[in-house]
Structure 1
Amino acid sequence: MIKHDLNKTLEALTAQFPNAINGIKRGIEREALRIKPSGVISQQGHPQGVGSALTNDHVTTDFSESLLEFITPVSTSAEQTLAQLKDLQKFTLSHMGDELLWPISMPCFIEHQDDIVLAQFGDSNIGRMKTLYREGLKNRYGSMMQAIAGVHFNISFPESLWQSLYSLNGSEGTLADSISSGYLGLIRNFKRELWLISFLFGASPALCNSFLQGRETDLPFKKLGKGTLYLEVGTALRLGNLGYTNSAQSSLRVMYNSLEEYVAGLKEAIHTSSDIYSHIDDYTSAEPKQLNKNILQIENEFYSPIRPKRNAASGETPTDALLRGGIEYIEVRALDVNPFCETGIDLQQIRFLDVFLTYCLLNDSPEMDWQEQKLSTTNLDAVVNEGRNPELTLNKQGSMVRLTDWAGAIFNDLTAVARYMDSAYGVSYYSETIAELATWVNSPSKTFSGRYVGALASKNQDNGHFALALAEQYKQNHLDADYQFYDHAFLTKQASDSVLKEREVKAADSVSFTAFLDDYFAKA
């Protein structure tokens, strides 16, 4: 494996390919629970007027009917992406009556998991498969975990950068192989330093005690108001053991040292029968409760903070798409919903992620064995639970170092990357962003979790009241604002077209649901 020196790579790019980084493409998927004005989860169906959850490319649902997902198209402009995200939320809110969008990751008050209605995608074979998959998730892990919302950040680097790195490295093999190898190196480095994302942007240090549903936990929670539990120096419960994780998957050895290794790990999981889930009836039964009895029903069940992706052809599984064409883009799944902006993610975060992910790509990235992967999880857990403790130490290649020292070293490298990117784009905002966020390292009250806990503690305010007030404010902001990229007529037509498209999908079914799944799993 070629060893990359970050500073030498930046010097070579600056001298020979000064604009190669120009043209980063991004897309965002933002999840948000629909809630009643009282702050309780909605049990109403998908909002009338926003189209079909199955076939609308930009407004759909995730696990439940109440968990909306807003999806922007690919764009090279971060400002345009945020404008699109605003418009999609404005349009949807206009069809939601008095309901609101919950502005944080951890769910609102939910009395019982059965109050979380599974997402419905119609009675076509693919629609029924999507709902049955979600019933399997409910029966495997419970619905409360699935009610957690996040933001997914998709990014791809321009071909000009890949061509430049290919030339500089004198790589063997095809350009496509080099691109996949580069993205996997990015993923390994991201996993090594994922804890920094949790430190900066973790925004789930508190939760409603209804989330625990009576479960015991040894986390050092403090109490606020009538029913709020919070970690005094914690950052992102969503990324920890109470959040969007699955201990049943902890034994899965999905590795990232080659595309073949990654795909083999996933394929083994979707073809290996599970002792844990074997008692749950699958699609071959009269009343199925999950798709199948394997460790993973389908590939999407694998919970990972970052994924290699490729747009799949019709009927093609995600891993088969990767084997066919290599890695096309990266999906970062580690972001909490940002409660301090109405879109759930802001421009400063996007600019930081541009720099951080470029740094992960250009920096040396040795192969990562299973022990190192487990170590990265241990570091993340430490930051999730006490990331704003100024004395916290993390394990860096076998040595214990203070978080503040390690973060400072990373920011030194990010500063160099930001300079290159500013020069390529003819801007100064990348360096300004890194300079500002660097100050958060020794002033953790500036982080999202620091601001969050500060807001609750200053008023002895319940987490739910804090979020509900934001939800009301953000709804009004959206409805008062003008459309910025789309318009109401366009989004209305898109919604009505999606309803017609869903009917076409149903009409095209030519086999029974069981036969459809027989064929799907045979191909998988």
Structure 2
Amino acid sequence: MQQTTSTFVQRLSTLAAPEVANTLKGVMRGIERETLRINGNGSIAQTAHPKPLGSALCHEHITTDFSEALLEFITIPHQDPRQALAQLRDIHKFVLAKMGDERLWPMSMPCYIESEDSIPIAQYGTSNVGKMKTLYRVGLKNRYGSMMQAIAGVHFNFSLPQAFWDKWLPATNAGSADQNAVSAAYFAQIRNYRRFCWLIPYLYGASPALCGSFIQGKQSSLPFERLPSGAYFLPYATSLRMSDLGYTNKAQSGLNVCYNELDNYVRSLRQAINTPSAEFAKFAGKKDGQYQQLNANVLQIENELYSPIRPKQPTQKLEKPTDALAARGVSYIEVRALDVNPFSEVGISLEQFYFLEAFLVYCAIFPSAEMNAADFSETEKNLRAVVIEGRKPGLQLQKEGQSVALQQWATELLAGITEVAKILDQVHGGSAYQSSVAHELEKIHHPELTPSARILHHLQSTGEGTGAYALQMAEQYKQRLLQHQYSYHTEQELEQMALASLKAQQDAEQADIQSFDEFLRDYFAQADKSCA
């Protein structure tokens, strides 16, 4: 891969050139928001996925994640962030109108859960594809427990248009914008994101405390304190969701996933999918006639890799993500480090869209050296430090082997992001991008303004538990969203989508002629060939 040597200042100047800057109008962004269905008392819903919502297997916008009760709402990619938010809000309204007395949990960390077995695993019908999706989740439960899988997050999908790469890559001496060059540029962006992504839980982490039911019977090395309500917390935590207690996977700590280039990334991921695991061998084969996981390898499938960011390429029917990347390169990136924003009825705010876009463009244009194992370890340690004690006064991070104060480094980063925001505001008109960065800079100088600090202050000052606090929000948001007027979809359109998805699932079930055993064998035989 050809290396570029230009500085950030030079690259910023290139970005500001009208022929480059104007291509930023074509940036696309989309959202995937997860949320638990809960009962009126705040407990997790035990009901099946509501039929009026359609098929969780086949609906493009309304599906489930790990649990039958863990909904996932997906927007299409949008050029206008306001349209993405409008679509997301319409989906929320439609779902709430079809849920009866149930509500949507507004936090990342789960509501009160009696036991692991009270988290119903998602069901996708009797087709082989549907059975495979459910079995994958059975495997997750056996490997890591269900509690971790009940955590909700927000994924921010982002892509730069081909027109941008056509102008940017030749101008920065990276050659023509063919598929390989674009993928390499996305991986450079991903490496920078890994370096700087500790900033995301600091600014947007909203899980400094959790319900005591979440850690019942578990051993934790974290020095938890207790609130009078019984909730556990860490005084300077930002995102317990992102901690070792939350949505991470210690079993994957030995994986050497490479972020320097696409070929090595695909190779390292395929290796994990095809490497037997001594730890997971105990779930191999069938128990009482039922499989316990898809396979006994380090990863069952690619989706099991827990990472704060993923390179993505849309897949075709039954195509594996690594095969899609190998065949067609990187199409977009999926940012996965966002807690649900509990101060927004849809889990994310418009201001977050503007800041995340400026931040990700900054990551795309900032010079990005390749990373070795020590560099990668440094990014992991920084992320861990911020999720556990990000608001601790004087917290030190590591930057290229040197200690630096979080506040100092964050201020430097936001100064650079501000310069990108200025260009975005010139392109789009107005001052939304610069305003979003200025708002985040206030959190750097005043940690009490962060979502994690606001939540913890409320719990400490009122004596409320996390459940009571979130339940009030859930009820308030339900009433607010039910009064919302559809602005992107119509109710009839969403009802038609639901019916069409149910029909698509029925067709898939009727079309299957293979046994499930044969289907699984063929699916993983293809995986073996792709690694040959």
Which TM-score band (shorter chain)?
over 0.9
The amino acid across from 1:500 in the alignment is K
Q: For the residues of structure 1 that align with 2:288 and 2:310, how far apart are their CA atoms?
A: 32
Report the alpha carbon displacement of residue 48 of structure 1 after superposing the two structures with TM.
2.2
Q: Read off the aligned partner of 1:440 and give its amino acid letter.
A: K
Give 2:4's aligned residue: 2
| Residues in 2 aligned to 1:76 and 1:125: alpha-carbon distance in whole angstroms | 36
The yes-or-no answer on 1:87 pairing with 2:90 is yes
Match of 1:11 among 10, 13, 19: 13
Q: 154, 162, 172: which is aligned to 1:159?
A: 162
Alignment partners' CA distance in 2, 1:433 and 1:173: 33
Q: Distance in 1 between matches of 2:320 and 2:10?
A: 39
Query: Which residue type is aligned with residue 5 of structure 2?
Result: K
Question: Alignment partner for residue 515 of structure 2, among 508, 512, 515?
Answer: 512
The answer to whether the aligner puts 1:457 opposite 2:460 as a matched pair is: yes
Cα RMSD for the two superposed structures: 1.3
User: How many angstroms does 1:282 deviate by?
Assistant: 3.5
User: Superposed, which structure 2 residues align to 1:459-478 within 5 Å?
Assistant: 459-478=462-481
Cα distance in structure 1, aligned partners of 2:473 and 2:505: 35
The normalised TM-score by structure 2 is 0.97
Aligned partner of 1:210 in structure 2 is 213
Alpha-carbon distance in structure 1 between the residues aligned to 2:177 and 2:475: 53
Amino acid at match of 1:447: T
AA partner of residue 129 (structure 1)? M
1:323 aligns with 2:326: yes
Shift of 1:422: 1.1
Give the SS at the match of 2:67.
coil
- For 1:91-240, what aligned pairs fall within 5 Å after superposition? 91-172=94-175, 175-240=178-243
Three-state SS of the structure 2 residue aligned to 1:26 is strand
Give the 3-state SS of the residue equivalent to 2:404 in structure 1: strand
Distance in 2 (alpha carbons) for counterparts of 1:463 and 1:199: 20
Report what 2:397 is aligned to: 394
Distance 2:423 2:478 in 1: 39
Q: Does 1:356 align with 2:359?
A: yes
- The letter of the residue matching 1:384 is V
Which letter maps to 1:230? F
Query: What amino acid is aligned across from residue 219 of structure 2 in structure 1?
Result: E
The number of residue pairs the alignment matches comes to 524
State how far apart, in whole Å, the 1-side matches of 2:470 and 2:364 are.
Answer: 36
Residues in 2 aligned to 1:277 and 1:177: alpha-carbon distance in whole angstroms: 36
- Cα distance change on mapping 1:507 and 1:39 into 2, 3 Å: same
- The correspondence of residues 67-82 of structure 1 with structure 2, limited to 5 A, is 67-82=70-85
Q: Which runs of 5+ in 2 are unaligned?
A: 528-532
For 1:267-321, what per-residue CA distance to the aligned partner results, in whole angstroms no more than 9, with x for missing partners?
Answer: 0000011000111134699321101111000111111110000011212110110
> After superposition, what is the alpha-carbon deviation per residue over 1:408-444, rounded to whole angstroms, capped at 9, x for unaligned?
1101101111111111222211111111211110101
- Secondary structure of the 2:17 match is helix
**Counterpart of 2:276?**
273
Give 1:4 deviation, angstroms.
3.7
CA distance in 2, matches of 1:79, 1:379: 33
Conserved? CA contact 2:23–2:163, under 8 Å = yes
Distance 1:350 1:14 in 2: 21
| Residue 312 of structure 2 corresponds to residue 309 of structure 1 | yes
Moved more, 161-170 or 41-50: 161-170
Is the 1:390–1:404 contact (alpha carbons within 8 Å) kept by the matching residues of 2?
no
Give the Cα–Cα distance (whole angstroms) in 1 for the partners of residues 5 and 352 of structure 2: 29
Is 1:264 the counterpart of 2:270? The answer is no
Aligned to 1:344: 347
> In the alignment, which residue of structure 2 is the partner of 1:405?
408
Whether 1:46 and 2:49 are equivalent positions in the alignment is: yes
In structure 1, distance between residues paired with 2:459 and 2:343: 13
Indicate conservation of the 8 Å contact 2:283/2:292, yes or no. Answer: yes
Structure 1 range deviating more: 511-520 or 12-21:
12-21
Asked whether the 8 Å contact 1:20–1:160 carries over to 2, the reply is: yes
Cα 1:283/1:496, change in 2 over 3 Å: farther
Q: Secondary structure at the match of 1:343?
A: coil
Shift, 1:98, TM fit: 0.6
Contact in 1 for aligned 2:229/2:463 (Cα 8 Å): no
Which residue of structure 2 lines up, in the alignment, with residue 484 of structure 1? Answer: 487
Q: Which residue of 2 aligns with 1:59?
A: 62
Distance apart, 1:96 and its partner CA: 0.9
> Does the 8 Å CA contact 1:176/1:326 hold for their aligned counterparts?
yes
SS of the residue corresponding to residue 278 of structure 1 reads helix
Letter in 1 for 2:325: L
- Counterpart CA distance in 1 for 2:347 and 2:104 is 11
Contact 1:281–1:287 (CA under 8 A) maintained in structure 2: no
Unaligned runs of at least 5 residues, structure 1: none
Counterpart Cα distance in 2 of 1:232 and 1:447: 13
Q: Report the Cα distance in structure 2 between the residues aligned to 1:225 and 1:35, rounded to whole angstroms.
A: 24
Instruction: Indicate the SS of the match to 1:267.
Output: helix
For each residue in 1:332-355, what CA deviation from the matched residue of structure 2 results, as whole angstroms up to 9, or x when unmatched?
011000000100000111111000
Q: Match for residue 299 of structure 1? A: 302
Say which is worse superposed, 161-170 or 67-76, in terms of deviation. 161-170
**Distance between the aligned counterparts of 1:16 and 1:68, measured in 2?**
42
Contact 1:393 1:403 in 2 (8 A): yes
Is this contact kept in 2: 1:136–1:290, CA < 8 A?
A: yes
3-state DSSP of counterpart to 1:198: helix
SS across alignment from 1:332: strand
Contact 2:53 2:498 (8 Å CA) reproduced: yes
The ranges of structure 1 where at least 4 consecutive aligned residues each deviate by more than 6 angstroms after the TM superposition are none
Q: Which amino acid letter does the alignment assign opposite residue 103 of structure 1?
A: P
Q: Equivalent residue of 1:295, what SS?
A: coil
Q: Distance in 2 between matches of 1:318 and 1:86?
A: 29
Q: What amino acid is aligned across from residue 213 of structure 1 in structure 2?
A: Q
